[in-house]
Structure 1
Amino acid sequence: MDKQLIEQLGNELYQAMVERTVLSPLTERFPDITIVDAYHISLHMLECRLSAGEKIIGKKIGATSKAVQNMLGVFQPDFGYLTDKMVYSDEMPISQLLIQPKAEGEIAFVLKRDLIGPGITNADVLAATEAVMPCFEVVDSRIEDWKIKIQDTVADNASCGLFVVNEKAAVDPRSLDLSTCGMVVEKNGATLSVGAGAAALGSPVNCVAWLANTLGQFGIPLKAGELILSGSLVPLEPVVAGDEMNVKVGGMGNCRIRFS
């Protein structure tokens, strides 16, 4: 795929995000699109966001659990970039900013030193992590009706939307077993789903190591101070204005969000 087309599609995705409109799947329009093409499109979309004044504050890993992979029909992990305009607390204005939002409970990592792959181990991830905390990511797709293949979601910055973390619930990752810690998600006061750390590639730590090693092949580090969303432990849940959700993670505490 040539540079001009990559930039055109990156611009289309950015405009769809800004205008809250949807596009037909890129994989239908361009059947030969590769994952490498899709990451170049994603980077151009990111450049548009940065040109508009946003700043990178971290990265996210998507499609790590079987539950999410089966829902989306995407059967390998991907990654995207987090910016300062994505993070909210207490109330999240999804009706103003998102198109077809779905919430997912995750564990977020805050790094205290760089991780530069390849060759990053789980021990390296734990040593480089300042704290972990419960998180809601609200993913969104600029692709009509979530009709995505892996190339579509990769190009769309891994379907990034908005997110919230509870920094007050942060703990040292070495104080608990992140593969066995349980997660309970509540919606409007009722239990919605349960999960465990092992749902995400066996452990959220595995996810961060995968990301560091994948990005390391391109010379991209995970940087000290960055926030890393490690992937959902539960199925995605469509949300609308008026919904309230709470996620509890064993050994950490909870994270709550109200949607408007």
Structure 2
Amino acid sequence: MKKFTAVLALVGALLSGSLALASTTATTAVTPDQALRLLMDGNRHFVKGDLDNLEHMSTVSRRAALVAGQHPYAIILTCSDSRVPPEILFDKGLGEIFVARVAGNIATASELLGSIEYGVEHLGASLIMVLGHSKCGAVTATYDAHVTGAMPEKNIDSLVKAIDPAVTAVLATKPSGTKDEVVEECIVENVNKVTESIEANSPIVKEFVEHGKVKIVKAKYDLSTGVVSLLP
């Protein structure tokens, strides 16, 4: 009986590892639209408090199956904010998404743009999502610096300079809302400008997009509701 139980356990482990490996290799065939659907479905799970996929895709067998390589189907560029972890927001586990994070979700550094290119060209990701979020501290700091003229300390000012074009564009429309409302407009405009800059500054990404192999989408995460909304 003990021998039979041991055999069953071994078979189960082998099957689990095989399924995880199949899941890993299968991601190479995911289309841009399929990748987007996987992300948005995952966010709906998160909003309901369901993170079963994250748990299922973070097992010991899943980890072992990924040692030989990775094939994430989506790249997410988002903010460093501790309240915006993509793996949790989209209910994704090991090997599913390739994440680049920097305050203000900007793409001015060549290292960051290179990371996105690597994800597209070498890992086979078919979707790039630029994800902003409500109440972004980096955008708020940029708004304050723009209005007061007081630049923050060294190094942080590089973030402000990168985000300022979005703030400038919004303020040029002479918005009539409250500061918080205007900052939210700036957050959306920053996502727009970052998205434009990725394709403009990366011939590799541009080529993949033109051939329909990659899609770039814009989105915003609401801290209060947990919902990720696609932007036009």
Q: What TM-score, normalized to structure 2?
A: 0.29
Q: What TM-score, normalized to structure 1?
A: 0.27
Larger relative CO (CA 8 A, sep 6+): 1 or 2? 1
Higher CA-based Rg: 2
Point out the structure with the larger strand share. 1
